[in-house]
Copies of this chain bind each other. A is one copy, B any other.
Amino acid sequence: MMDEQLLLSGLLWRTERLFHDKKIITRLGPGEYHSYTYADYAKRVRKLAGALTEFGVRPGERVGTIAWNHYRHFETYFGVPGIGAVLHTINMRLFPEQQAYLINHAEDSVLIIDEDQIPVVEQLVDMGIPTVRAFIVMGDGPLPETSLDPVYRYEDVLARGSEDFEFPEFDEHTASAMCYTSATTGDPKGVLYSHRAMVLQAMCLAMHDKLNMSESQVWLEVAPMFHCNGWNIPHTALLQGATLVLPGIHPSDGDYVEMVADLGVTGMNGAVTIGTMMRDFVRASDRQWDLSSLKTMWLGGQAPSRAITEWWEQTYGTHVVQGYGMTECTPQICFNFTKSTLADQGEEAVYALRQKGGQPIPLMKIKVLGEEGQELPWDGTSVGDFWVRSPFTASEYYHDERTKENMVGGWFRTGDVGAIDEHGYVIIKDRSKDLIKSGGEWISSIDLENALMAHPKVREATVVSVPHEKWLERPLACVVPSDDSITEEELREYLMGSFAKWWIPDAFLFVSQVPKTSVGKYNKKEIRAIYGAGGADEVRARFGLTVA
């Protein structure tokens, strides 16, 4: 067989020829969109690649981006790796100190940023990001006033490149992109993604029994493109020639709803909170929204609640799906679809199945190990550490000693704890560090959260471990009510219906919001820290007690 390499430029080769008339649409403002074709896109990607080469960006060098989801950012997705350089997407929601750390750790040579990020990047320069040789600012119109130097307008840079630029060929194991873990403990850890990994995972996501990513889809990418390659959705949409919709700068919940209605969006992906916020927007809106084009909503980060799942399905016929992934896995590990042989066991059983993390995607191997390192049976109840391996799983962290803690014997320790059922559906019990060990027994914070979020008066809930004199650790629940009549006693009784008495949280704090990480996960580390500093009163003081 020919030794043809799996390169991102190979995916583009096909899309620009076969799907040249299909569209990439970016929201500019209310009801206002930028729209161009994959043919236009490919020309601009080639120009970007040529211009970066002229800029002196060499294979292997890192090019950072700090940007929203829009067509120019998507151009960097293929333009930067196309010349063998590495696209380092930087989390926009981090504090400047953290961003500077990432840029310096990755040794980014060029930064491509959105216009609204100029003040932040000026701060980064003041802090010291010495490897950055040039700043390229995306946006329309003239370059805003800035102290960044040397600084270029993205469109001027593109004008230097040729749309006939030919992508070089190289080994498929070459790094194409990098991303840092969102770092709930310690410094962030960097992961390099090979071209091979990106291509193979996009192929897996384009297969049946996943997202339904076909050519006829109109897909809205809400998950941030700076986070885990935007869950690999932009690559998959391009591979399939699907219409790709990007929400642009500073989108609101209402903007997502409007885009679905305006553009006939058929599928979308984002954090679980997006599904909740869009629902709340629709409910509160005076307008009757027709969102019935939306057939698939992939919600990630944690399991979507039953209330949200059912609301979307009953209101618009939207199928809510979930998967399981992490930065180290490009990022997908599992995807949840209902096997035909399990579809006829009644609504409750199917719903319970859909609450699981899903089955490993093709090429992904998974195992669950007990405390002695023994492999546990796939029986749905044997709980241990999840380990994975695949051609799209990291074999190391970028220049990081912590590699040896997590990558052992050709497998990666995910840090998640749970079980696998007899059909290979993963049941995630907790991040190992979020498990609560009370009196020597494990309590799953995720099980409690899922139960609480299924309560009709609960909008959001998180459960964290707090120190306890006698039991060492005990669960504490922080609950955002959706109904003012909620009481602690009511929740306690409700949980008693499903859990042993010693699982019930010692306290239920009613709060106006649960703090979240930069990628939308519950920030348990922050809650624990606040509780540690001043107990329940301090948590109440910070997040607002709304119910007595």
By a beta-carbon cutoff of 8 Å, the part of chain A in contact with chain B is: 1-6, 10-11, 13-14, 17-22, 173, 192-194, 196-197, 200, 203-204, 206-209, 212-216, 239-241, 330, 337, 339-341, 359-360, 362-365, 378, 389-395, 410, 412, 423-424
Interface centre among A17, A193, A364 (most CB of B within 10 A): A17
Bound complex: CA A4 to CA B394 (Å):
11
Interface centre among A20, A208, A341 (most CB of B within 10 A): A208
Residue among B10, B207, B360 making CB contact with A18, cutoff 8 Å: B360
Name A330's closest neighbour in chain B (CB-CB).
Answer: B1
Q: Is the CB of A1 within 8 A of B339?
A: no
Chain B positions within 8 Å of A424 at CB level: 14, 17-18
Quote the shortest CB–CB distance from A408 to chain B (angstroms). Answer: 12
Quote the shortest CB–CB distance from A112 to chain B (angstroms). Answer: 24
Quote the shortest CB–CB distance from A31 to chain B (angstroms). Answer: 24
Name A424's closest neighbour in chain B (CB-CB).
Answer: B18
Quote the shortest CB–CB distance from A49 to chain B (angstroms). Answer: 18
Quote the shortest CB–CB distance from A525 to chain B (angstroms). Answer: 28
Q: Is the CB of B363 within 8 A of A4?
A: yes
Q: Is the CB of A391 within 8 A of B4?
A: yes
Chain B positions within 8 Å of A212 at CB level: 208
Residue among B21, B193, B208, B390 making CB contact with A207, cutoff 8 Å: B208
Known contacts: A2-B391, A194-B1. The answer to whether A209 contacts B203 by CB under 8 A is no
Q: Is the CB of B203 within 8 A of A207?
A: yes
Q: Is the CB of A391 within 8 A of B239?
A: no
Bound complex: CA A364 to CA B5 (Å):
11
Q: Is the CB of B207 within 8 A of A423?
A: no
Chain B positions within 8 Å of A393 at CB level: 1-2, 4
Q: Is the CB of B215 within 8 A of A209?
A: yes
Residue among B192, B194, B203 making CB contact with A203, cutoff 8 Å: B203
Q: Is the CB of A363 within 8 A of B193?
A: no
